Amino acid sequence: MEYRFKRTYQANIKLVVFDWAGTMVDFGCQAPVDAFVSGFRAMGVEVSMETARIPMGMEKRDHIKTVVGFAEVARKWERVHGRPVTDADIDTMYDNFTSLLLKSIESKSELLPGVLKTVDLLRKNGVKIGATTGYFTEAAEIVIQHAAKEGYIPDFTICSSDVPAGRPYPWLIFRTMEALNVCPPEAVINVGDTPVDIASGLNAGVWTVGVAATGNQMGLTEEEIRNLAAQEYKRRLESARESLFNAGAHYVIDRMDQFPAVVDKINACLARGEKP
């Protein structure tokens, strides 16, 4: 070709795709990690909450496979069971996880501070709202219904059970863009609290924003945060922020009420012709 046509998107953000646990609900992303730790314990293998949190954001069967693939966990498994983990073991742990999660998820699905105000402001500016999760359908439905009672109803919701592969693949984001008729990727922000969330946004070619204080990387409840010494809180928060920036996040916020200011910054970037 003698010529190459180059287009630059210079309008505002049209769509924000939010994760659920740790981003919009469930302070500290407690429900899934509790279920993972308990599920492994039921198989005779102790897994720390820190280890269970590493792949958070992935589809949950993939999450289990990733954890049992860690060298330390694999050694513990073989000491207990006398053999490597099998696909049948993965199936059993997934069944245990789903049962445990369904029992606890509703009590851990309250909206996080600033969510309703932020969503209302976005909608007033003509921005559509999508919601994605690594949860399976039954768990996602509980969260969706609980959030709706509190006033948060996204324009489109989708979970890992609805796509060929969950995060870090971009299909959840692409399906949301398709359903809400939004393009190009530059007009979209993906928001989540884990490195896997960030990876899915980068793979989709959209803007990515990490949430530090209320999410998986911090991993603390509101009460636990209140009981932390100021210096320890600062250390943990900086570590959470760093992990999200290292994953490639374009911006990192602590809490949802800081998000509108980030949208303004991204709109300014777009006006200058910048891309994610």
Which residues have a catalytic role annotated? Answer: 19, 60
- The tokens for 265 are 């910054």
CA atoms within 13 A on the CB side of 249: 24
Q: Give the SS3 label for residue 28.
A: coil
CA atoms within 13 A on the CB side of 7: 5
The sign of the CA dihedral 187, 193, 195, 197 is negative
Measure the CA–CA gap between 114 and 267, rounded to whole angstroms. Answer: 21
How far, in Å, are 154, 155, 264 from residue 122 at the CA level? 12, 12, 11
* Closest by Cα among 217, 255, 215 to 114: 255
| Contact of 20 with 215, CB cutoff 8 Å | no
